[in-house]
Chains A and B, each alone.
Chain A
């Protein structure tokens, strides 16, 4: 009995000791945390004091800062112009073509171009040989196209005119999609080609372009891809 009682007392004493240790430990942790917090605050305050403290002044500056109004710098990326050339409509001979082009220069390498052109197809050799037969009415012979193309400048250089004049120039590739209206129908058209541009001044360019306009046609009985090659010379103005 006594042994059991002693055991119980010992157990209680042991447990209370343990409790003290745990309590002390918790208390200690809290103290450490508070200390750290205080140190952090001190550091922050010190840093703030540093930034607030004015450096010792020798002379009071009395210089007004110049105010500059930055004018808007003009951008000149748009190019619009007219052109004239020859268009070979497959099976229908070569005829003159008039066009309008508008381009937007995106980077020094790439530009985006829209083209619109009109021409009138001639007679096929069959019509010429057979005499009085007409495959198309005069109205249907109108050949109208528009295209959206992407251009890539390559081989930049200078063109020299005599000893004193140098003009920047470049070759470019063109490729794009569009539509062609011919023989009373409109057709999806793919175009590709190349051109040469020379700039006599910053605002004017002279272009020579060769482009192939390809579309599917079943006008002469069988469905086939027709190649319509066009060569043009044009002048554009930069805006």
Chain B
């Protein structure tokens, strides 16, 4: 075998390492790697690692089993686990919501990037479908998690965005319009299991119109999200 390896080589310390045919506990075990033999780690899909043995057999090893392999220098093989510690501190999260935007039904999704365990930049896009108008909303802002180590924790939000309105009209045809908005809000998130959590939030939007008075719109939503 060549000295320059493309993949990470890890050594089995448990009595054996089970290899499954697919990335899931339901897929059967078709091969085992005995203690002290090595495998190359090819890639990861969810909580499973595709590995190749010294004999060239390729299979899937579970995250739990891979916690018991070591590197060539004897150091443990570490990788991010999708657990409670990951919920406290992670880089990315994504989620989807259903809710209410100023009386209209709202469907939205969001993505957030965490600078540290408390502060995140968040982008959300949504569509609302109402009796009198439909529209699209987009927000970009900062989110502050008050106590990331708590299972149920409140958070605060502030940011800016836009709203694009398409009025539904039968008699006159009012123009579509796009307005800039700003928002403040807050909510709670609750860790469920693995990589999942529930999020409920409220945003108070100030819509900067071209008319004399600005508009205020309330947004309530509930959804589920995951981190990675």
Contact = CB atoms under 8 A, between A and B. Distances in A.
B8 A73 contact: yes
A226 to B, nearest CB: 15
B24 A108 contact: yes
A156 B226 contact: no
Interface residues on A, range: 35 or more
B177 interface: no
A9 B223 CA distance: 88
B24 A153 contact: yes
B8 A71 contact: yes
B82 A75 contact: no
Interface residues of B, number: 43
B46 interface: yes
Interface in B100-133: 105, 107, 109, 127, 129
A59 B16 CA distance: 35
Interface in A38-83: 65-68, 70-71, 73-77
B47 interface: yes
A180 to B, nearest CB: 10
Contact of B27 (A150, A158, A238): A158
B155 to A, nearest CB: 21
Nearest to B98: A177
**Most interface-central of A108, A158, A238 (chain B CB within 10 A):** A108
B132 to A, nearest CB: 12
If over half of A's interface residues share one DSSP class (helix, strand or loop), that class is named, otherwise mixed; here it is: strand
Contact of B71 (A70, A108, A157, A199): A70
B25 to A, nearest CB: 7
Interface stretch (B72-80, B144-152, B182-190, B206-214): B72-80
Interface string A100-124: 0000111111101010000000000
B21 A168 contact: yes
B55 interface: no
Contact of B44 (A71, A75, A109): A75
A66 B28 CA distance: 36
Nearest to B226: A106
Interface string A156-198: 1110000000101010000011110000011110000000000
A164 to B, nearest CB: 14
Given A68-B72, A74-B44, A179-B107, A106 B98 contact: no
Nearest to B95: A112
Nearest to B104: A188
B82 to A, nearest CB: 7
B138 interface: no
21 contacts: A65-B73, A68-B75, A74-B42, A77-B46, A106-B82, A106-B196, A107-B46, A108-B25, A108-B46, A108-B48, A148-B107, A148-B109, A156-B24, A156-B27, A158-B22, A168-B23, A170-B22, A177-B98, A179-B127, A185-B134, A188-B129
Interface of B: 7-8, 21-28, 41-50, 71-73, 75, 77, 79, 82, 94, 96, 98, 105, 107, 109, 127, 129, 134, 168, 194-196, 224, 226, 228
Given A75-B43, A170-B22, A185-B134, 16 more contacts: A68-B73, A70-B77, A73-B43, A73-B44, A75-B45, A106-B46, A107-B82, A109-B24, A114-B109, A153-B24, A158-B22, A168-B27, A185-B168, A188-B129, A202-B43, A202-B50
Interface of A: 65-68, 70-71, 73-77, 104-110, 112, 114, 148, 150, 153, 155-158, 166, 168, 170, 176-179, 185-188, 199, 202, 238
**4 interchain residue pairs of minimum CB distance:** A168-B22, A156-B26, A74-B43, A108-B24
